[in-house]
Amino acid sequence: MSASTPILKIEDLHVKVEDKEILRGVNLTINPGEAHALMGRNGSGKSTLSYTLMGHPRYHVTKGSIIFKGKNINEMGPDERAKLGLALAFQYPMAIPGVSVVNFLKAALRAVRGKDTPIKEFRQELKTKMTELGVKDEFLSRYVNDGFSGGEKKRLEILQLLLLNPTLAVLDETDSGLDIDALKTVAHGINTLLKPDTAILLITHYQRILDYVKPQFVHIFQDGQIITSGGGDLAKELEAKGYDIVTKDFNPVVSGTR
């Protein structure tokens, strides 16, 4: 992928869940080195977009395309998309009793890289990322999200992303339920993911995480499409005035293009 190639280009994306159309013509372009925030009311379709990007089988693309790193991934499964460099941090991470965190992370890394990472190298990588997030060693022996607090679940999501080092990290309301200390830690991890050749799509309800993760672009989602876009000031305006300032009179736009 060349530096001029968008990491993600979504064109006129329509998606149904069962017989209900949720996404109604989404257009979005994300280039290398960019952080984008996607905001909107509950039920506007933000999470549907994140699941569609990862290839969840319940979400059916009826029109449009998802081009990731120059490839149309409409027909790819979640595992193929992950290997290509796409990753999703869930709003509600699942508990997996009986599976330790360390074994889970080993398996995730092996699935994406297509091979085992030598134990010494894996431990060094993991220790570095754990230190960045303030995660203690005893965390590794616990079962995945089993009895975890909200902050611990989100730290594990970010720890996994840091290990996988995706080209595009999609974060679905990762800031929900976090106290201010956990929010700062998670935001630091998110910022670490952003490099000149990677990008972030941060889905959130609140402006507060954008005090720590500074997006170049903020998009407002309503009725299954992006109805307007702007810079960081748009999020602050929403925080102050609410979503009533945004009306259906806005035309959908393609943002983030060079």
Strands 168-172 and 86-89: parallel
pLDDT at 255 over 60: no
pLDDT tier, 251 (very low <50, low <70, confident <90, very high otherwise): very low
The residue behind tokens 């720890």 is: 159
Cβ 32 vs Cβ 7: under 8 Å: yes
- CATH entry 3.40.50.300 includes domain 8-245: yes
What is the Cα–Cα distance from 169 to 89, expressed in whole angstroms?
Answer: 8
Cβ burial 107-146 (10 Å sphere, 16+ → b, else e): ebbeebeeeebeeeebeebbeebbeebebeeebbeebbbe
pLDDT at 256 over 60: no
- What residue type is assigned to position 36 of the chain? H
pLDDT at 70: 95
pLDDT at 25: 96
Strands 8-17 and 20-30: antiparallel
What's the pLDDT tens digit per position in 97-133? 999 999 999 999 999 999 999 999 999 999 999 988 8
pLDDT at 140: 92
Alpha carbon distances (Å) from 28 to 5, 36, 95, 220: 14, 10, 32, 12
pLDDT at 1 over 70: no
Cβ 176 vs Cβ 95: under 8 Å: no
What is the Cα–Cα distance from 232 to 39, expressed in whole angstroms?
Answer: 12
What's the pLDDT tens digit per position in 61-102? 999 999 999 999 999 999 999 999 999 998 788 899 999 999
What's the pLDDT tens digit per position in 215-237? 999 999 999 999 989 988 888 88
More confident residue, 255 or 55: 55
DSSP assignment string, 150-182:
HHHHHHHHHHHHHHH--SEEEEESTTTT--HHH
What's the pLDDT tens digit per position in 155-212? 899 999 999 999 999 999 888 878 888 889 889 999 999 999 999 999 998 888 999 9
More confident residue, 247 or 143: 143
pLDDT at 152 over 90: no
What's the pLDDT tens digit per position in 130-150? 988 888 898 899 999 999 888
**Measuring CA to CA, which residue among 165, 161, 168 is closest to residue 35?**
168
- What residue type is assigned to position 122 of the chain? F
What is the Cα–Cα distance from 101 to 93, expressed in whole angstroms?
Answer: 13
pLDDT at 257: 41
Cβ 29 vs Cβ 129: under 8 Å: no
Longest alpha-carbon distance in the chain: 57
- Report residue 96: phi and psi, to 5°: -130, 80
pLDDT at 254: 41
pLDDT at 3: 61
pLDDT tier, 258 (very low <50, low <70, confident <90, very high otherwise): very low
